[in-house]
Chain A
Amino acid sequence: MSAGLDDKLSDALVGTRRFFTRAQVSDDHRAMYAEGGRAGDSFYRDRWSHDKVVRSTHGVNCTGSCSWKVYVKDGIITWEAQQTDYPSTGADKPEYEPRGCPRGAAFSWYTYSPTRVRYPYVRATLLTMFQEARAQYGDPVVAWASIVQDAEKASRYKKARGKGGLVRASWADAVEMIAAAHVYTIKRHGPDRIAGFSPIPAMSQVSYASGARFNELIGAPMLSFYDWYADLPVASPQIFGDQTDVPESGDWWDAAYLIMWGTNVPLTRTPDAHWMTEARYRGQKVVVMSPDYAENVKFADEWLAPAPGTDAALAMAMGHVVLREFFVDGHVDFFDDYVKKYTDLPFLVTVERQKDGSWKPGKNLVAADFENAARTSENALFKPVVFDEGTGAPVVPNGTLGHRFGDEGVGKWNLDLENLKPQLSFWSEAAESVAVRLPRFDAPDGQAVHEERGVPVIRVGEHLVTTVFDLMLAQYGVGRPGLPGVWPEGYDDPRVPYTPAWQEEITSVPAEACARIAREFARNSVDTQGRSMILMGAGTNHWYHSDLVYRAMLMLTTITGCQGRNGGGWAHYVGQEKVRPLMGFQNAAFALDWTRPPRHMTQTAYWYVHTGQYRYDTFLADTVGAGMSAFPGQTIMDLLLKSARMGWSPSYPTFDKSSIEIPDLAAKDGVDVKDWVVDKLKSGELKFALEEPENPENYPRVLTLWRSNLLGSSAKGDEYFLRHLLGAEGAVTARQAAPEQRPRDIAWADEIVDGKLDMLMTIDFRMTSSTLFSDVVLPAATWYEKHDINTTDMHPFIHSFNPAISPPWQSKTDWDAWKEIAKRFSELAVDHLGTRTDLVVKPLWHDTPEAMATPHGVVRDWKLGECDPIPGKTMPALIPVERDYTAVYDKMTAVGPLLDTLGTTCKGITYDVGAEVEKLRQEHGVVATGPAAGRPRLDTDIQVAEMIMMLSGATNGHLATQGFRTQEQRTGQRMHDLAAESEGRRITFADTQLAPQPVITTPEWSGSETGGRRYSPFTVNIERLKPFHTLTGRQHFYLDHDWMLAMGEALPTYRPPLDMTRLFGEAEIGATGELGVSVRYLTPHNKWSIHSEYQDNLFMLSLSRGGQTVWISDQDAAKVDIRDNDWVEMVNRNGVVACRAIVSHRMPEGTVYMHHAQDRLIDVPLTQRDQKRGGIHNSMTRIMMKPSHLIGGYAQLSYFFNYIGPTGSNRDEVTMIRKRTTPVEY
């Protein structure tokens, strides 16, 4: 029987259709064919048609840096799609096209959405007050003063924050109020009582620079972001002396073994994920470590699921295996050579006898410590030594910190070992040894337990020394015959750290799997000369002890020779965006062309203090320190104060007197202002503001946000912010510290001041929690309405924003908005401020000789009489600068003269930029009159972009070459050829409009793109023997600072997540009660948003659950009768969240995920607990600071903006979760 349709009758009847249609019906009557292009198609042709396509990108904090085509029809933005014109990576690699993600693809929705901020807004309560006062006093500054000085009025408008009542204002009125608040605050309290916050410049550098330039010109600190977001891996400065430098995603292709550990690439690196999926086809093995079945697990060959927060245990055990099999029982020349040349493992460390007769690891032995040729050489206290096998003596190798500065180090700051043969270990069967006490932190009660394990030692002068390597083996529990102490019997011995069996009890990862993956990882590196890579990120980095997690992981990539290799090493992917034209950016953003130094503040510490969270530390530093007695009787707040006064960390507001009043007082006394300050500090007449945080003289008054949603996204302890910073309603129920838990050196006010801020101003294009709570909201142009530049470390290109349409309604670009503010500010300053001297108090900086302030990392506190207060040495540097407040606008819009006289400095290299300034003069034109007369103009956003690109080696080949030539003198190594191919190349804004442009290899970064190579960090260090910016000049594992030693963290170790039951009395995980079941509370990145951006976007909401959700395992859900999509409530001492549950077995029992950052603006009902609006993900968290992050003034542990600082960790939290039983109301 032949095939056919239906039966013959139907066929005959229906088949008649073919006679009635013009289209062709197939002979078998199945289908009708018709040629395309007929009238019926026109509907879709119309839909597709458009007038123009404009290149732009997204200024969002995602590291994507994707170039987009924006389609415009009839002057309306219709949609967007990815550009595909990235320069090629070469014939044998995948390409970067197309880059983009669903969030970015939905961006144009915002342009015309009902959540768009179209006009300036002010809360009616405040606007009315201001208008009345303005009418009464005539002067806006006086008017502002009359409001904020009136307690009743101030309280009234502050209490109204967040609760609706925003009304339209004109730009002139809104800007005048903002300018008046700034002028008043500077006049009354000092410029360091103002702060600006805008995150992650890389994504829109001009927009960041706009407000930053204004703030720095008036002397207001810019708040950091990388540490605040907990994205800064403190292990990076600790080990590499580098903020963070990572491979571009194209370099994943080069890896032959890839572990994804705490970074969920498909979600958070969506446009890059293909490199990972494709590299597998090249035979790359992929392993994922993740506590849940995360999206990236799908691509793995193997999935190991360590319990949340226990990653360091797994990494330590893997290190145990690698050390045992490749360094002790086995030997690999490649590893041996690498660690001797590029790490501190062969360096000598003293072993010191304690009062109780025990031994402890001590300090790095340096040239100044013993009889040797270099003992009296320059910087001898910063020249650590190795033991030379050849001469049988301790010797200073090239490349130490001591060689980096000063005349004697010229040509010697390099990693050339010359004839030196560093000895890795002093072990032999007959070696002398001592048992050193090493802490472990895995006891059930969380308290440190000490164990003794032996290290071989030799004598150098009066010192008993061993090597870092020998200490490392002792720490990792890798025994060798003849050494005393407690050692494990084998991998299967769970009693002694850090064996595979030991970690299995903590992580639940099978010991076998742990050992095998470690072995494979190292073996692969042997086979490929270092092409084993670990991608890491928030999952492992957002913990309180993340520095330890990372140090344990970085041990793996470093001792196997993977760092500084294409396809190898660490790849830290969270918040790490890279401002490729860094040097030019710093000048534009921080106004270094006009005034130096800038005021930079660590934001975590800032809010820890000014949102009153320090008051809720119901523990002493030693409690959180697991009983190591590192800081007897002190609180974290005490340590913060100590850090500030010793010049380790920045601290703003700095003193209890205005920074512009102090120079006047000194002048009145006829004393140099520095001497005056030192004197008054000693006498106690001048105090750090930190000493009395609740004193109205001592807290910030004005905060401006742009490109930022602090209150809906990054504010750890959001409810503390609302109550104490803003004076609004907050859901905190935590108790404050009891008298015996309070700071020792800080005045304890009876009450916290609620509503510290006089003004919160936000510039944004959409409504967020931050705009909702702001006093003034200015309407911003979107990313499709302005010029700007964008870079990332995920790819090596720089490209541009361009307006597809002009800023609609009354929105303005960030640059134009800040210009308006600067202009009015300068006008108001004429009567109120004039020119003032401002005393800038600056911490000791990394990459400068100030990093040699603390020999041996021995802490000496002038306040305790342990040394004299010497500015720039034992306390912060004191630098008076002159600020002409009437000229702020003129300076903001011109390129300043310090570039001509001082050049510009980046990461320790100073550049002459005379020719560059001259080019800017020619291209931008010259300011004719006024304070900036003769200077290159800086009127437009494009000109700011040009300034940034002109003044950076990444975009200007002349500067890159110059920088390398300068570096050649210090290192004695050939460098400049790295940029030679691009010496004449300069990337202009017009170039970035044509297509993404590949950047130039520059000393601003540690890797090389030369010859079209994929970027991998530290390749220049490894290949050109350029030292790392550390004490030894090598990758550093042993941190001998007093505090690190005291905390038991001189070496990598495992410390469990914080015990919130012990610290705060929260219920133990798994406990059930009236409020549900207690679970660990994590806030990973969200699939449907980039931080809080896009979470309110209708497309993203339609593809997800349409509002706030929390993911919970089926087991936990069953315990408290929660079903999928049930409304639930989470409650802990920090706040309350009302949201819906997503129940899935891909979640591990005992842990919930509330994805960061679901703002409280979309479908959040009133809570069951207190009938108030539910909170955000950060309503459940709070700031927890770790003392070791406050260290400064010592080698790589010295401060720089976003380089080091306390991280606002957020993963150690717990909460109760229950099913909602009362009706859902709004």
Chain B
Amino acid sequence: MKVMAQMSMVMNLDKCIGCHTCSVTCKQAWTNRAGMEYVWFNNVETRPGLGYPRTWQDQDEWKGGWELRRNGRLTLKSGNRLKKLASIFSNPKLPSIQHYYEPWSYDYETLLESPVTRNYPVARPYSLLSGKPMNVEWSGNWDDDLAGSGEHAVKDPMLKGIEDKVKFEFEQTFMFYLPRICEHCLNPACAASCPSGAIYKREEDGIVLVDQDKCRGWRMCVSGCPYKKVYFNHKTGKAEKCTFCYPRIEVGIPTVCAETCVGRLRYIGIMLYDADRVLDAASVEDDQDLYEAQVGCFLDPYDPEVQRAAEADGIPGDWIEAAKKSPVRRLIMDYRVALPLHPEYRTMPMVWYIPPLSPVVDVVKETGYDAEDRGNLFAAIDALRIPVEYLANLFTAGDVPTVDKVLRKMAAMRSFMRDINLGGDPDEEIAASVGMSAEDMYEMFRLMAIAKYDERY
């Protein structure tokens, strides 16, 4: 056993309002500078949709992450490391700027400085790359709030295999938001892709960083990262990525994106894991077993054996205490409501998500349905607007029952709490029906709903 600590995040998508405050505060703090105009370390995607950069999830196209070879060994999907070294001068699998978007600004000064004109002055857009006037045709968030649409989201890679379940029609509309930062993976493909050894995972907290002195701008990391969360600074010629705000984390304050999240949906905490188990876990054969395999790597900080080993591996005592209190650990391990994003990429991502509930569809509405009615509690999950299959494609490599279980827990929590809200006694059976104790259900409610600052971070 090799105990390591990982700074991790859970985002509760059920609370995300898609406001993009996280994106703006992150951009302002970190990437508001030349060479990084198109870069959003933190972005928020409306799903269904194409994401940023467009179709990043289509690994048939982008070849990001790892794949399991027939010999049972993991290899970078874009080719083994030797091959990568051999092809550093012609990296074929890079998204073009158009896949992100061509950044632009406006000739704002015209508004003040315009001489006498025939028509009212106007500021026109021009490209921040070419300096020429342009017609804006894509942005980092072009399909925001579209709920898909026949024009764009039909190309959403996550619709593969469930095309019959999603119709882009008014009555069937659904959407939700997916905020994304770097996953700070336990098995980072970006680091493995880097020919210069410039990407490293911090020993003490697992934050994945690009050493700005060492980076030689090969961009293999951009290709290797299946989440497309390493970016190329076209001015410095170096790779940059989300740093998990380490200058803040180090002094005990949360990341910018988390602290400024007005949906209060981000949790930060320590996860202890057994580094010796990571490769095995990343190498399980069935994609749908990866979630459980990754959970299997995590260590229980209350386990005396783990505590002893952690001490031996040089983990400070207060980190073990932090791991005990970690809201991330509770959501991932105790309540089992948080799930990894695309476990099938086999990078062992460490930013996890609680999937969203959604309104019931009209057909149920017409026949009379009450979300809070115990009798309807679970029947409702199948009637939600967001197809469970879509969520499963994001969080469980397509394994529907696992997502279903999480949604049932959330629905059960609401029903359980309603009795309390109305001044009645809570019904322990509701908790039991989703495999939880009444106490755990109440504590989960407090963590997800009341979510005080000190509880979130």
Contacts and interface: CB of A to CB of B under 8 A. Distances in A.
B317 interface: no
B353 to A, nearest CB: 15
Nearest to A6: B80
Given A266-B18, A283-B417, A1144 B259 contact: no
Contacts of B279: 3-5, 28, 30
B71 interface: yes
B299 interface: no
B14 A277 contact: yes
Interface of B: 14-15, 17-21, 23-25, 27-30, 32, 69, 71-76, 80-82, 85, 103-106, 108-109, 111-125, 135-137, 139-142, 144-152, 168-170, 173-176, 186-188, 191-192, 197-205, 207, 209-214, 243, 245-248, 250, 256, 259-265, 275-276, 278-280, 282-283, 356, 358-360, 362, 365-372, 410, 413-423, 445, 448-453
A14 B418 CA distance: 58
Interface residues of A, number: 140
B365 A34 contact: no
A1125 B101 CA distance: 15
B136 A1107 contact: yes
Contact of A1145 (B121, B137, B150, B191): B150
A283 B24 contact: no
A108 B370 CA distance: 46
A297 to B, nearest CB: 6
Q: Which of B24, B175, B245, B360 has the most CB of A within 10 A?
A: B24
Given A36-B202, A1146-B173, 8 more contacts: A14-B81, A36-B207, A98-B260, A104-B21, A282-B414, A301-B360, A1104-B139, A1144-B146
A301 B359 contact: yes
Contact of A277 (B15, B116, B248): B15
A632 B210 CA distance: 79
A1146 B145 contact: yes
A21 B19 contact: no
B280 A35 contact: no
A34 B123 CA distance: 48
A1103 interface: yes
List the 4 shortest-distance A-B pairs measured between CB atoms, nearest first.
A283-B418, A164-B114, A40-B211, A1106-B136
A281 B417 contact: yes
Nearest to A43: B212
B119 A163 contact: yes
Most buried by B among A101, A1098, A1146: A1146
A164 B152 contact: no
Contacts of A1099: 24, 27-28
Contacts of A105: 21, 24-25, 28, 260
Interface stretch (A234-242, A1019-1027, A1160-1168): A1160-1168
Contacts of A41: 209, 211, 246
A301 B122 contact: no
Nearest to A253: B449
A113 B105 CA distance: 11
Given A44-B247, A98-B261, A114-B108, A1124 B152 contact: yes
A589 interface: no
B146 A1142 contact: yes
B21 A767 contact: no
Contacts of A82: 259-260, 262
A163 B73 contact: no
Of listed B17, B116, B191, residue having the most chain A CB within 10 A = B17
Interface string A973-999: 000000000000000000000000000
A154 to B, nearest CB: 17
Contacts of B73: 1, 3-7
Nearest to A32: B200
Contacts of A49: 247
B366 A510 contact: yes
Given A7-B80, A40-B212, A164 B25 contact: no
A26 B275 contact: yes
Contacts, number: 413
A1160 B259 CA distance: 35
A476 to B, nearest CB: 23
A115 interface: yes
B29 A48 contact: yes
Contact of A1163 (B125, B152, B262, B362): B125
B414 A283 contact: yes
A41 B207 CA distance: 12
Contact of B121 (A26, A39, A124, A772): A772
Contacts of A1147: 170
Contacts of B452: 94-95
A163 B247 contact: no
Nearest to A520: B370
A1226 B124 contact: yes
Interface stretch (A267-275, A803-811, A867-875, A879-887): A267-275
Nearest to B414: A283
A44 B246 contact: yes
Contacts of A106: 24, 28
A1066 interface: no
A1149 interface: yes
A37 B205 CA distance: 12
B112 A121 contact: yes
A862 interface: no
A680 interface: no
A164 B74 contact: no
Nearest to B446: A92
Contact of A1224 (B135, B169, B366, B416): B135
Interface in A96-123: 97-102, 104-106, 108, 113-115, 117, 121
A13 interface: yes
A80 B25 CA distance: 7
Contacts of B370: 285, 516, 520
Given A164-B116, A274-B263, A1173-B119, A36 B176 contact: no
Given A3-B282, A1124-B149, A1145-B168, A1103 B259 contact: no
22 contacts: A5-B74, A28-B279, A30-B278, A32-B201, A36-B246, A95-B453, A98-B261, A102-B21, A266-B18, A277-B14, A277-B263, A281-B449, A282-B418, A283-B372, A288-B359, A300-B359, A510-B365, A520-B370, A772-B120, A1103-B144, A1106-B125, A1142-B146
A32 B191 contact: yes
Nearest to B38: A1102
B139 A1103 contact: yes
Given A273-B262, A1106-B136, A1098 B175 contact: no
Interface string A1125-1167: 1000000000000000011111111000000000011111110
Contacts of B366: 510, 512-513
Contacts of A162: 120
Contacts of A79: 25, 28-29, 32
A740 interface: no
Contact of A99 (B207, B262, B419): B262
Contacts of B146: 1142, 1144, 1146
Contact of B283 (A3, A115, A274, A285): A3
A108 B24 CA distance: 11
Contacts of A1165: 122
A280 interface: yes
B28 A527 contact: no
A293 B174 CA distance: 8
Contacts of B175: 293, 298, 1146
Given A99-B262, A1142-B146, A298 B358 contact: yes
Contacts of A1106: 104, 125, 136, 139
Given A32-B197, A40-B211, A1123-B151, A164 B117 contact: yes
A23 B112 contact: no
B136 A102 contact: no
A1114 interface: yes
A966 B263 CA distance: 43
A104 B246 CA distance: 24
A302 B369 contact: yes
